[in-house]
């Protein structure tokens, strides 16, 4: 992935959230690779799918049991059922 300096998924998300007037602390990010690190850190809850790089799993608030799309489906199910209502993000992201 080639992007201009200072531009990543987190900066794109920040712009979208400003447009939508949604606080970053109320968002959930899900990823699997090093280019998702800033993105996960910018959200209220950062989730890595099971097949994510070990370095991303280490900084994620939650790691799914499922890999790839199955992990995303698992996360959506947990969000829809309220299972993550009391999930705590690391640090000051919450």
13 found inside a domain: yes
* Assigned token pair, 50: 């099971």
Residue 35 carries which DSSP code? G
20 found inside a domain: yes
pLDDT at 56: 97
72 membership: H or E segment, kind and range:
helix 68-81
3 found inside a domain: no
66 found inside a domain: yes
- pLDDT category, 89, cuts 50, 70, 90? low
How many folded domains does the chain comprise? 1
Torsion of CA 11, 84, 90, 12, to 10 degrees: 0
Kindly report, residue by residue over 8-62, the tens digit of the pLDDT.
889 989 999 999 999 999 999 999 998 899 999 999 999 999 999 999 999 999 9
pLDDT at 93: 45
CATH number, position 70: 3.40.50.1000
pLDDT at 88: 67
pLDDT at 78: 95
61 found inside a domain: yes
92 found inside a domain: no
pLDDT at 7: 80
Query: Could you give the 3-state DSSP secondary structure of residue 25?
Result: helix
Q: Which residue has the higher pLDDT, 36 or 4?
A: 36
- The single residue listed with the structure tokens 């602390």 is 25
93 found inside a domain: no
87 found inside a domain: no
61 lies in which domain range? Answer: 9-81
């Amino acid at each position: 992935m080639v992007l201009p300096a200072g531009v990543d998924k987190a900066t794109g998300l920040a712009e979208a959230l400003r447009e939508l007037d949604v606080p970053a602390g109320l968002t959930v990010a899900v990823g699997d690779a090093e280019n998702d690190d800033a993105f996960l850190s910018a959200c209220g809850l950062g989730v890595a799918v099971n097949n994510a790089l070990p370095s991303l799993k280490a900084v994620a608030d939650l790691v799914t049991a499922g890999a790839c799309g199955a992990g995303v489906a698992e996360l959506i199910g947990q969000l829809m059922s309220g299972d993550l209502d009391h999930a705590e993000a690391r640090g000051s992201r919450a």
